[in-house]
Amino acid sequence: DQQVKQNSPSLSVQEGRISILNCDYTNSMFDYFLWYKKYPAEGPTFLISISSIKDKNEDGRFTVFLNKSAKHLSLHIVPSQPGDSAVYFCAASALTDTGRRALTFGSGTRLQVQP
Amino acid sequence: GAVVSQHPSRVICKSGTSVKIECRSLDFQATTMFWYRQFPKQSLMLMATSNEGSKATYEQGVEKDKFLINHASLTLSTLTVTSAHPEDSSFYICSARVETLLNTEAFFGQGTRLTVV
């Protein structure tokens, strides 16, 4: 049972255009969401996060939008650059009854930005 | 951001041997570290939560006797794959949790590509 879903395995956009990566979740207990970027054979690097008390967070070219009622979040990259080409993982976090807080990851979306 | 160092980045071992992977938080103390595994073209799967000074918490389906986790200090957690088999070949990644005033963030090591031959 996938609690965090990224339904698009890949996305291709032209340099300078907007990239929109989507993520859906099913667990209503998730209260913190993160986006990670990952190159092959490397660990994920943190990009941007958003708390469930917000609906938008912006950091430079990256903006994350959260729609709690739809259990949907998206990452916007504008303008897209060839160096943005990587796999992007959406992750969600919830506090469990044991006090643990781990991340549940989506399956990733491979973004390719064409020069 | 916080720095997490994972070593080695790549290891090839013979079937039946054990391999130790280290995960260090370089500029902060991490009471909790996480170990993930990634199969080709799949997502990161949480294997276990490593707590400093206590036993690790394993996710369902992860053999604790095969994947030994030790979190002996606030800056070091180790994962030992014991009696490795070819099906253990995978990409292993650790992360350390950083608590901020508002939220929790996780920073990742570079990952270890394990190949068992």
Cβ–Cβ < 8 Å for B4, B96: yes
The pLDDT tens digits for B100-115 are 555 567 788 999 999 9
Tell how far CA B75 is from the center of its chain. 13
The pLDDT tens digits for B68-92 are 999 888 889 999 999 999 999 999 9
The pLDDT tens digits for B22-53 are 999 888 787 788 999 988 777 888 899 888 87
Does the beta-carbon distance from A105 to B44 stay under 8 Å?
yes
Encode chain A (115 residues) as per-residue pLDDT tens digits. Answer: 679 999 999 999 999 999 999 999 999 999 999 999 988 878 888 899 999 999 999 999 999 999 999 999 999 999 999 999 999 999 998 877 666 667 888 989 999 999 9
Going from the C-alpha of A20 to that of each of A40, A51, A57, B79, the distances in angstroms are 21, 19, 15, 36
Amino acid B53 reads: G
- pLDDT, residue A66, reads 97
Does the beta-carbon distance from B102 to A51 stay under 8 Å?
yes
Interface of A with B (CB under 8 A): 32, 34, 36, 41-46, 49, 51, 89, 91, 93, 98, 100-108
The Cα of A71 is separated from the nearest Cα of chain B by a number of Å equal to: 19
Closest-CA residue of B relative to A93 is B104
- pLDDT, residue A60, reads 96
Closest CB to B104: pick one of A44, A93, A98. A93
Does the beta-carbon distance from B95 to A106 stay under 8 Å?
no
Cβ–Cβ < 8 Å for A104, A6: no
Closest-CA residue of A relative to B6 is A43
